[in-house]
Each structure stands twice: as structure tokens, then as C-alpha cells.
Amino acid sequence: MQTWNDILGITKSRNATPPRRVERTEAEWRAQLSPEQFRVTRQHGTERAFSSDMCSLFEPGKYACICCGTVLFDSAEKFESGTGWPSFTQPIAADVVAYHADRSFGMIRVETLCNVCDAHLGHVFPDGPPPSGLRYCMNAVALEKVGATEKATQ
């Protein structure tokens, strides 16, 4: 289980080696994604809080990157944070999420990206529930819910 100190350490050193890589041109991403998905995932945007029903979905399943299909989160780690964005306590594996220090807007945060395709997912904060104490605050448009047994796409 990762801790806040682990994540801070990763932002100062290097991210885990991804399980695979998916790279596309900007034109290919634009053709694949909706304008909002492109803005959020490829241009590091943020969707409006409470703009998705995904916050209130707690059925069993997995959540994958909308860009490359890599499974990132399990519904067992999802919780209601009250922030208006889907929130998780841990990624499904240590090598699927990358972390970068984000010093935009006059604050220091930790940005989360898909480690396979570099899609912007959201941010992680140290104010989540025990035992990890982490809150992965994700943009719903960056994720797609997949069945409990589905695997990542290539």
C-alpha cells in the first residue's frame, strides 16, 4: 500500500516503469476522444465538479483510462469524498499511475497521470480515509467503468 510519503518520494525521483506504452499523435488522440476528454486528458484540464454521475456509482467493477484502456482503479477502493469527483484510495497496481509535482495556480499538488499513455487523470491528496490516507481525485471523463473481469485493452 502506497503512502503519501511514498508518493512524494516518487515525485522527487522517478515513476515506476509502465507495464506497456501507448503513444499517439495529437491528431490521433483528437480523433479518438470527445472534445472534453481531449481537453482534460491531453491538455491537463479539469472537469467541472459534480458534472458526472460516476461519483455516486459504487457497483463492483474496474475503472480504466479512457485513452488507452489500462485498468487503473478497482471499485473496492472507491469512496464518497464529497468533492464532486470520483475518489479512490489506491490504484490497482503501483505501475499504472505516474506522479508529477504540479505547481500551477500558486499551490503545490501531485498530479496523477496514466503511466501507460500519459493521460492526465487528476490529483492525489493526503486527506483520504484510512488505512492509506490517500484521496485520488480523478476526472470522471478520464475514466471508463469496465466489468469486474475485463482486462486492459492494447
Q: Which residues are catalytic?
A: 137
**Termini Cα distance of the chain:** 26
Residue 154's CB is within 10 A of a number of other CB atoms, namely 8
Cα(112)–Cα(94) distance, integer angstroms? 12
DSSP reduced 3-state for 113: strand
Question: Residue 49, Cα to own-chain centre: how many angstroms?
Answer: 15
